[in-house]
Each structure stands twice: as structure tokens, then as C-alpha cells.
Amino acid sequence: MRIAFLTAPEGVEQIELTDPWQAVMDTGDTPRLISTRTGRVQAFKHLDKADTFPVDQVVADASVDEYGGLVLPGGVANPDALRLDEKAVALVKAFFDAGKPVAAICHAPWTLVEADVVRGRTLTSWPSLRTDIRNAGGTWVDEQVMIDSGPNVLITSRKPDDLKAFCEAFTAEFTEKG
């Protein structure tokens, strides 16, 4: 099964991309990097530039039908840029409309807020998103991992320290749904 990883061209938190990516590979599934531009995405280690990663597909060419699930890595700048891109937001919403599982960590739920898919859902995130999630109709909890089984499974996590639990939770759900 192919799993979509959606990032902006710059600003993704490297470990929140690479650890989940490896977790997907460890299950035998195929991760694919989707971005709003071709080329490479620039990852960061907090505020410092880190590695770059090749884009497999641009958002405009991506279809939910090609993927079994969606992972939204965090980093402050990454979801902030994605939520300003109409096609990226539409792709995120399409995963929800199709009932496919979605996983988001740290600041990534900002993109979920923009896609208007948190209403009636319970999720966690980096604490500074708490008010945004509540204002969008979601329930925010301070837990390592939150699995909301709504019409589609939504797995969220707070921060890099939660990556092990996040990866275990979303790969188990994605494998079950795939």
C-alpha cells in the first residue's frame, strides 16, 4: 500500500518526516512524498536547516485513490504554508471525504483546521494549537497519542518525543484499514 506524506517545500520538522517514513517502510508499505512544488523539500531540525528530500509527486497530480492513508508531519512553517495552498488543503479534505486514515503530529493539525475536518473530533497537537482546534469545533487533549475513530481514523500526536508511540499507532491503524 502507498502512504502519502504531505509537506510544504520548506519547513517540515525532519524527524517528524523521517521516523514515520521509516515506520511505513518497516511495515512493507511504500511512502511517497507529496509537495506543492517539484524538486526537493527542505527539512529543519527545529529552526536550523537540515536535509533535503526528493518530491515524488506534486499536490496537483495527486489523487486520494492512489493512497491508503495520509501522514502530515509537523514543523511550525510546514503546516502554516500548507494551509495557504488550496490544492493541499483540498487533498487533505479528500482523504477525510474518502474515509481514509490520516495521521498528524505536532503543528500539522493546523492543516486539518484549514480543511475544516476537526469539528466533532478529538485530537492532540503541539499545545499552542489548542485554541485553534477548539475554535474549529474539535476537542483538544494533552495526550501522547490520540486515536479518533470518527468516520475515518484520525491519529494525532504532540511532539517529537511522542514519535515512537505515534508511529506504532498510525502504522497499526493504516495496516488494519489497508
Q: What residues are annotated to the active site?
A: 107
Q: Do 111 and 85 form a contact (C-beta atoms < 8 A)?
A: no
3-class DSSP state of 104: strand
Let me know how many helices (H) and strands (E) the chain has, helices first. 6, 12
CA R_g for the chain = 14
Report the candidate in 134, 83, 85 with the shortest Cα–Cα distance to residue 108: 83
What b/e readout covers 4-21, taking b as 16+ CB neighbours within 10 angstroms? bbbbbbbbbbbbbbbbbb
Q: Which residues contact 107 (CB under 8 A, 6 or more apart)?
A: 74, 75, 76, 78, 79, 80, 125, 126, 128, 129
Query: How far apart, in whole angstroms, are the C-alpha atoms of residue 96 and residue 102?
Result: 8
